[in-house]
Amino acid sequence: MDEKTRLLTAIQQLHNVANLIKENDYRDYMCGKLIMVQVELERQLTNVIHNERRGIQNCNQQHFDDAEQQRRQFSDFAGTD
């Protein structure tokens, strides 16, 4: 299981716990603690998604650079004929 899936699962479990404690006398206290955990998990999830997007952008840039280099090589080869 990758990090993104673990974080999403943890957030879902927090929602499940919040639903289970709806009738608890100490619901407000416990929800306050759960919210802090949820905020941290969502922050980490945002970082993971940002890093994935940055990786895709870097990969796309590398493909663009490779294609440009191949075009130049092809142009050089075609120009020598």
Give the Cα separation of 61 and 54 in Å (integer).
10
Q: How many domains does the chain have?
A: 1
How many other β-carbons are positioned within 10 Å of the β-carbon of residue 31?
17
How many other β-carbons are positioned within 10 Å of the β-carbon of residue 7?
20
pLDDT in tens, the chain (81 residues): 999 999 999 999 999 999 999 999 999 999 999 999 999 999 999 999 998 888 777 766 776 677 777 777 776 666 654
**54 lies in which domain range?**
3-80
